[in-house]
Amino acid sequence: MKLEDMRIVVTGGASGMGRHFTLALAGAGAKVAVVDIGDEGLASLADDAKGLPGEIRTWKVDVSNEEQVVRFFEEAWQAFGGLNGLVNNAGIFRDGLLVKKDKDGSIKTMTLKQWQQVIDVDLTGPFLCTRELAKHVVANESGGAVVVNISSVARHGNVGQSNYSAAKAGLVADTKIWATELARYGIRVGAIAPGFVETPILLGMRPEVLEGMLKGVPLRRVGKPEEIYAAVKFIIECDYFTGRCIDVDGGLTV
């Protein structure tokens, strides 16, 4: 698929890596439907997109809310005269150990709320969005589409992230399943598992904490959003790629 022919949804597209994906795609001539819950980020996208050859339209949507997702895809499909792409990028963290005993003897646990919030956004969100895109593509026989799921190196299991790791591992498993189920309709599904990437959240860490994290990265640095976008671009453009996950993590092992 050619980038200039894309009518693509980017979830979590108003901040972090998603914002970079949005602007890079629009810069290549794509029409981008941006989904996010951040009013400020959505509002400022128009300014950043001025002069780009593509088009950006924004919707405030909670990807874990089925009703909102269904309504969004109906509206975006009409607005762009169809859709042929989706980047499932929206995600959150609610880190914590499963069980921890403090020095005073008190016991802390990961709460059900911490668990469920991450599963809802990071796993149920991609399920809902992929389902709705595929439903419209199949119903309209529109010629196929491509889905890019943003997973994480944490899918292998990272201490303090049992909720996040479970969601990101599940997303890679679903990538394989959906690729197999949807291939007959011309829909490809791929995944990307970034390591530590230069985003506002990561750069907001204390320097000594970030330095400690990077000791496990053979390249000894964080990745840049444009390096993750290179993998997004590859999956979109390579029509023979489906059902696999690309690791872009500097060689990190967790």
Q: Can you read off the two tokens belonging to residue 84?
A: 């042929």
pLDDT at residue 240 in the model: 98
Taking the CA atoms of 16, 46, 7 and 233 in sequence, report the sign of the dihedral they define.
negative
pLDDT at residue 174 in the model: 98
| Whole-structure pTM value | 0.93
Q: What is d(CA 124, CA 150) in angstroms, rounded to the nearest whole number?
A: 13
Taking the CA atoms of 68, 31, 242 and 231 in sequence, report the sign of the dihedral they define.
negative
Residue 158 located in a structural domain: yes
Q: Which of 149, 2, 114, 132 is nearest to 65 (CA)?
A: 132
Residue 254 located in a structural domain: no
Catalytic residue among 164, 185, 229, 240: 164
- Exposed, middle or buried: residue 25 (CB in 10 Å: 0-12, 13-18, 19+)? buried
The DSSP-derived string for the chain is --GGG-EEEEETTTSHHHHHHHHHHHHTT-EEEEEES-HHHHHHHHHHTTT-SSEEEEEE--TT-HHHHHHHHHHHHHHHTS--EEEE-------B-SEEE-TTS-EEE--HHHHHHHHIIIIIHHHHHHHHHHHHHHHHT---EEEEEE--GGGG--TTBHHHHHHHHHHHHHHHHHHHHHGGGTEEEEEEEE-SB--HHHHTS-HHHHHHHHTT-TT-S-B-HHHHHHHHHHHHH-TT--S-EEEESTT---
Phi, psi (rounded to 5 degrees) for 211: -60, -40
Q: What is d(CA 66, CA 174) in angstroms, rounded to the nearest whole number?
A: 18
pLDDT at residue 211 in the model: 82
Residue 163 located in a structural domain: yes
pLDDT at residue 202 in the model: 75
Residue 45 located in a structural domain: yes
Q: Which of 233, 9, 32 is nearest to 130 (CA)?
A: 9
Q: What is d(CA 54, CA 56) in angstroms, rounded to the nearest whole number?
A: 7
Residue 253 located in a structural domain: no
| 43 neighbors 19 (Cβ within 8 angstroms) | no
Residue 54 located in a structural domain: yes
Residue 14 located in a structural domain: yes
Phi, psi (rounded to 5 degrees) for 30: -75, 155
If one counts every other C-beta atom within 10 angstroms of the C-beta of residue 131, the result is 15
Domains contained in the chain, number? 1
The verdict on whether 240 is a catalytic residue reads no
For the domain that residue 93 is a member of, what is the CATH number? 3.40.50.720
Local mean pLDDT, 10-residue blocks, the chain (254 residues): 96 95 97 95 90 95 98 98 97 92 93 96 98 97 95 88 95 98 98 90 74 85 94 98 96 81
pLDDT at residue 1 in the model: 92
| Residue numbers of the domain that contains 52 | 3-248
State how beta strands 7-11 and 85-88 pair: parallel
Residue 221 located in a structural domain: yes
